[in-house]
Amino acid sequence: MTKHKKQIRPKTAEEMMTFSQRAAQQIIELPRGVRILMVGLFAVAATFAVNPVIDTLYIQFFYNADTVILPSIAAVFVGMVVYVLGWLLMIGTVGETPPIRRVIVWYCLVGLLVVVLVVGALIMGLNSGNAPGY
């Protein structure tokens, strides 16, 4: 009776990838236009999300009739930071394929969470000034 040894083949690079690496790869493989729209959506959602917070802090602590535009500038700054970060992580320059990083998955998860929270806040009226106590 002979024993047959099962040959173990080395795992390919794709088989060795973790779940987050595979998810990041799938995000990077999306068409460039889709990734640009995702980053833009996350940036606009971040701007909407921080706007009530900045407005409340500004009105309570820093209000001045000469500087009423500052809360809007601060909110847009936050949105631009989110946009630039997403651009660097997910889009890159023309013809470049961004490297697969775990932080891409985190960026997308946080971005989706912010979108869901903003949609919920809009439904409840928190961002429109119609909420009680605003």
The string of pLDDT tens digits covering residues 80-103 is 999 999 999 999 888 888 888 899
CA angle 68, 123, 56 (to 5 degrees): 25
Q: What is the CB neighbour count within 10 angstroms for residue 84?
A: 12
pLDDT of residue 129: 61
pLDDT of residue 19: 83
Q: Is-contact 98 90, C-beta < 8 A?
A: yes
Q: Is-contact 118 52, C-beta < 8 A?
A: no
Q: DSSP letter for 49, please.
A: H
How many angstroms separate the Cα of 93 from the Cα of each of 34, 44, 90, 96?
15, 21, 10, 5
Over residues 36-76, the pLDDT tens digits come to: 999 999 999 999 999 989 988 888 888 888 888 899 999 99
Please say if the pLDDT value at position 2 is more than 80. Answer: no
Contacts of 12 (CB under 8 A, 6+ apart): none
How many angstroms separate the Cα of 5 from the Cα of each of 9, 10, 12, 123?
12, 15, 21, 63
Q: Which residue has the higher pLDDT, 63 or 33?
A: 33
Return the domain boundaries, the chain.
33-124
Please say if the pLDDT value at position 1 is more than 70. Answer: no
